[in-house]
Amino acid sequence: MQFTFDMSADLMLNYTPKDTIMLNCEAVNLAFGSSGLIPGIHKVELVVNIFNN
C-alpha cells in the first residue's frame, strides 16, 4: 500500500489471537486494536497459524 501525505485508510482483517499481522516486516502489537500508518509505502502481511488449534 502506498499513502501520500493527504491520504488516510482503514484496513480491516479477520484474524484469531494465534495469527500474526506483520507491518513492514515487524509484528504488530494487536493489544491496541489498530496501528497508525505514516505517508509512504507499506507492506502488510497476515500470517495465519493453521497448525495449532
Please tell me the predicted confidence (pLDDT) of residue 53: 56
- For residues 18 and 10, the model is more confident at 18
Q: Looking at residue 6, what is its pLDDT?
A: 85
Task: Render pLDDT for 14-28 as a digit per residue (tens, 0 to 9).
Answer: 888 888 999 999 998
> Could you give the CA distance from residue 52 to residue 2 in angstroms, rounded to a whole number?
34
Backbone φ and ψ for 27, nearest 5 degrees, come out as -65, 140
**Predicted TM-score (pTM) above 0.85:** no
Tens-digit pLDDT profile for residues 31-46? 877 777 888 888 999 9
